[in-house]
Amino acid sequence: MPDGAPPSTTPRPARLIAVQPKWHARDFISARAFRRWMHAQLHAAQPHLALDRPNLVVLTELNGMPLVLRDAPLAVLSGRFRTAAALLALKHLPVVLTLMVRERVSPIRAVQLARIDANARLYLDTCRDLARTHGVYLACGSTTLPHYQQRDRTLRRHGPGLYNQAILLDPHGQLISATDKVHLTPDEERGGLDLTPGALRDVRVVPTPVGDLGVATSLDAFRADVIEQLEAQGCTVMLQPDANGSPWTAPEGLPPDPTCIRDQPVAWLESAWQVTQRGDSIRYAVNPMCVGNLLDLTFDGQSAITGPAEEAPRARSYVLTPPRPGFLALMPWVRDHADPPTLRRAGQALSARSAHPHENQYRTGVLHADVTLPPSRVSTPPPTPHEVALAAYLRGEATLPTPPATRAARVLWPAALLVATALAARPGRRAALLALTVPLALLALR
């Protein structure tokens, strides 16, 4: 894994860039569609790239997670997350049953793990190509990834975990770091995507010509323990990839105090903006947000680049909040000047299945800000085994497995059909039919 940069003795000029894209389920229906969607984001950022300083482009949270929909047109056409999940489980049922029995994971995690190596390959290859083509430091956003270890020239999953993981690449497409999200939202926990929380000790700062970078994905940027971890290591630029899964002008309440209900823009002031106003080591934060209705899920927000008030004296802020200094760049919302009830109605009109003429009519765009960073006092941390494995893959020194059809998959198809039949059967017969899947699964896994 290449070093981000050695400690420097001179100030570092850099351009920080945040991309606010709109996503749709059809962007993930094939490898070609996904590459086209990702390339369009860097194409939109191209006019914002500086010629006189290095560029850091930051993409959005979970922008690879919907690859679970790849090659599953019925799931895409279903229009509903739960229906899509059921169709995906049926499509990959032999592998899903194998994973559930062998690794003792939930059905929704098994669905995501069923093609994780192929989707990881597509995601990493696409992001590496983007960094190389545009010559930028690329915070790829985040995607669902397991932890890998390298065995000879092949990457193998290490354990059943599945993380919301942010990947950072240099302009040659080589790995700088991989950071797991520590604090998961309820939609990411067992009742939703069933992801694995990362370890706080693994949140690290890496020195680069575009800043001493630390990742605080979404909710992590609101949490004092993550911010303190970054500050203690000398972070100067915090990266906050985001995908806010609800209308932007709706109220929200999240752990650790879900009873603290307030407008989402009010809550957002407690992340990137607040962090960069404290006067500690984190001087700048880049917070790109994805927008758009993905199946029946709503995503909305206002991307921002924040910094010290003296460098951003212009008074402005998110909708539903008073203007203030500290925003180096801020994406306007679809409406700026209206009373709160009107803004809340506008947010509901945009949301999935609103049947309003403005449904899914979100604002997209690109922000940038030129900054000068102080000399670095940070040394490159040693890579984790997972980072060693990813770095080897990105250098072309290792591969991700492409498993052939296995005996387990062939034998499990009868079990899969029994499950499908059982789900449609009368309650009195359902238990007996489901019981028959157990010996079939054990036979397949012998």
SS3 329: strand
φ/ψ (deg, to 5) at 416: -60, -45
Q: Tell me: the pLDDT tens digits for 255-285?
A: 667 778 889 999 999 999 999 999 789 999 9
Q: What is the pLDDT of residues 142-152, one digit of tens each?
A: 999 999 999 99
How do the domains of the chain map onto residue ranges? Answer: 12-70+115-403
Q: How confident is residue 420, by pLDDT bands cut at 50, 70 and 90?
A: very low
d(Cα 446, Cα 442) in Å, to the nearest integer? 6
The residue that leads in pLDDT, 103 or 437, is 103
Proportion of the chain above pLDDT 70, given as a percent: 87
Q: What is the mean pLDDT of residues 291-317?
A: 98
Contacts of 254 (CB under 8 A, 6+ apart): 185, 186, 219, 222, 267
Strand residues in 356-443 grouped as ranges (E)? 365-373
Question: What per-residue confidence (pLDDT) applies to 402?
Answer: 84
Q: Packing angle between helix 427-444 and helix 407-424, nearest 10 degrees?
A: 170
The 10s digit of each residue's pLDDT in 52-68 is 999 999 999 999 999 99
**Residues found in the chain:** 446
Q: What is the pTM of this model?
A: 0.90
* CB distance 400 to 264 below 8 Å: no
* Interatomic CA distance for residues 444 and 411, integer angstroms: 5
Structure token digits, residue 126: 């696409």
Confidence band for 34, pLDDT divided at 50, 70 and 90: very high
- β-strand pairing of 148-151 with 137-145: unpaired
pLDDT(422) > 70: no
* Contact indicator for 344, 351 with CB cutoff of 8 Å: no
CA distance 230 to 278: 13
Question: Would you put residue 79 in left (φ > 0), alpha (ψ -120 to 50) or beta?
Answer: left
User: What local confidence, expressed as pLDDT, does residue 413 receive?
Assistant: 52
Mean pLDDT (the chain, rounded): 91
- Residue 441's pLDDT band, with cuts at 50, 70 and 90, is very low
- Check whether 234 has a pLDDT greater than 70: yes
Query: For position 436, what pLDDT does the model report?
Result: 46
User: What's the average model confidence in pLDDT over 298-321?
Assistant: 98
Nearest residue to 245 (alpha-carbon basis) of 181, 194, 185: 185
CATH 3.60.110.10 fits 12-70+115-403, yes or no: yes
